[in-house]
Amino acid sequence: MPSQSPIVIVGAGAAGLMAAIHAAQSGRPVLLLEGTRDGGRKILISGGGRCNVLPASLDERRFVTASSVHSLRKILRGWPHHEMRRFFEEEAGLPLVIEEATGKLFPLADSSRAVRDALVGLARARGVAFRGGTKVTGLEPKGGGGWRLTVERGEPIEGGAVILATGGLSVPKTGSDGFGLAVLGSLGHTMHPTYPALTPLTLDPPAFGDLAGVSLDVSITATSTTERCQATGGFLFTHRGYSGPALLDVSHVAVRGRLAGEADATLDVAWLGATREAWQERLAPSASQLATVVRRVLPRRLADRLLIVAEVDGALPLSQLSRAGRERLLTALTRFPLPWTADEGYKKAEVTGGGVDLGDVDPVTMESRIAPGLFLAGELLDAFGPIGGYNFTWAWVTGRAAGLGAGSRFS
C-alpha cells in the first residue's frame, strides 16, 4: 500500500474523536469522516446540554453485555478512570467537577459544546483532517492490504487502516443510521441482536397520563425470565408512560425479555426507595388522617392515586385502617407493580444494546479478528452502561484503544 495511506476514521462522535486524537500520535496522516456537518451531536445533546463526561467512580459490574464479561473488563481496564480524567483536564483543557448529588463529573464550563469543541480542537491541533458532510456508503478490503471506502458524493477514499465509530441506531437525528452494524455483519462478525437500551417505557392506554410531570426518586426492580436488575434514582411520569434515570437503567430487562419472546418483564417500584418498615412506622395507628400522612411524603397527585389503587379511604384516621387495607397500601407504596406495554424505541433510547461480539476484537487494540486492519469503537460493540457517564466512558476507552491500535500498525 502507499507509504502514507491515511488512517481513516468513520464517525466523529465521542468514540471517533477520541480515536482520531490518539491515532494522530503515530505520525500517520489521519482523516476523520463525518456524515453530519459538524459531528459530536450526541455529545451536544447529552446531560441536558451539560455533558456528563465521566462518572465520579466506575463500577464495571454495571455494564451490560451478552459477550464475555472477561473481554469487557479487559477493554475497560485499558484506560483507568483516573487517567481518563487527567486526559480531559490536562490534555483537552477541560477541568471537571463532581456533582455531589449525582456522583457525576461535568465540565467546569457546564457546557456540552465546550466538550465537543475541545475534542475537535485537540484533534485538529494534532493534525487530523476533518471532512464533515461526508456520508460513507461502502467499505471493502483491498487486495494486498488497506481499505477502500465509497462515499455518497466524491471519489472513493483509500485507507491503510480504518476505524469504524459510526454509532448504533439510537437517536437517529444525530446521524446514527446503522451503517457500521450492517457493514460489520456483512464482513462476517458475530452480531448480537440490537435493541433500544436506556429507553422510556410506555403504557397503552396511558392509565397514568394524568400524573405526567410528577417526578420523584424511587427504587425500581425489573425482572424477566432470565435476568433481574435494580436501580435507584429519578423517576418521571410522562404522557405516554415513564422515564427518568432509574427507569431507563432497568428498561433493557423489559426490552430484552420481549425480544427473546418471553412474557413481559415485571417492574416493581418502591416510591422514594422507602422500605416497608419505614412506611409501617408512618402508618402506625393514630388520629392522623391517612391521606395527610401519605401526601406529607409523596407528591399529592401520586399519593391520591396510590390510595385509590390500594382501595382505601384517605379520609380515614390511621387508627381505623383495616389490616387488609394497610397491607394493600404497603404493597402500593413499596412494591408497586408498574404496568407497561411497549417502549419508545431508538428515537428516544440513550444507546443501542447488542452489536458486535466483544470476542471479535482484540481487547487491547480493538482490531477486528475477522477483518485485519479494521478497528471498532463505541456503540457498535456489544456493551453499554447505566445513565451517568458510563456510555461516554465506553466511547473514550474504546476510541483511544482503536486509535492507538491503528497507529501501531505503522510503527
In DSSP terms, 222 is beta-bridged to 229, 267
CA dihedral 171, 34, 400, 87 (to 10 degrees): -90
SS3 124: helix
Distance, CA of 372 to CA of 2 (rounded, Å): 17
Distance, CA of 332 to CA of 62 (rounded, Å): 28
Cell of 234: 429519578
Roughly what angle, to the nearest 10 degrees, separates helices 323-334 and 290-297? 10
Structure confidence at residue 29 (pLDDT)? 97
Q: Are strands 96-99 and 161-164 parallel, antiparallel or unpaired?
A: unpaired
pLDDT along the chain (411 residues), means of 10: 79 98 96 95 93 96 97 98 98 96 93 97 97 96 91 94 96 90 97 97 96 98 93 97 97 89 86 96 95 97 98 96 96 97 94 98 98 97 97 98 95 71
pLDDT > 90: what percent of the chain?
Answer: 91
- Residues 262, 171 contacting (CB under 8 angstroms): no
Structure confidence at residue 2 (pLDDT)? 42
Give the pLDDT confidence of 224-247 residue by residue, as tens digits.
Answer: 988 999 999 999 999 999 999 999
The residue type at 302: L
Structure confidence at residue 145 (pLDDT)? 84
* CB neighbourhood size of 225 (10 A): 10
Complete DSSP assignment for 224-264: -SS-EEEEEEEEEE-SSEEESHHHHHHHHHHHHHHHTTPPP
pTM: 0.95
In DSSP terms, 242 is beta-bridged to 201, 237
Q: Which among 120, 123, 119 is positioned nearest to 94, based on CA atoms?
A: 119
In DSSP terms, 139 is beta-bridged to 149
Q: Taking CA 257 as the corner, what is the angle to CA 167 and CA 250, rounded to the nearest 5 degrees?
A: 65
Q: Which domains does the chain have, with CATH numbers?
A: 7-196+351-408 (3.50.50.60), 200-344 (no CATH)
- Residues 317, 174 contacting (CB under 8 angstroms): no
Structure confidence at residue 260 (pLDDT)? 79
Region for 57 from its dihedrals, namely left if φ exceeds 0, alpha if ψ lies in -120 to 50, beta otherwise: beta
Distance, CA of 191 to CA of 193 (rounded, Å): 6
E-state strands within 34-126:
54-55, 96-99, 104-107
Structure confidence at residue 222 (pLDDT)? 97
Distance, CA of 109 to CA of 116 (rounded, Å): 12
Give the pLDDT confidence of 16-31 residue by residue, as tens digits.
Answer: 999 999 999 999 999 9
- Residues 386, 62 contacting (CB under 8 angstroms): yes
Complete DSSP assignment for 175-198: T--SHHHHHHHHTT--EEEEEEES
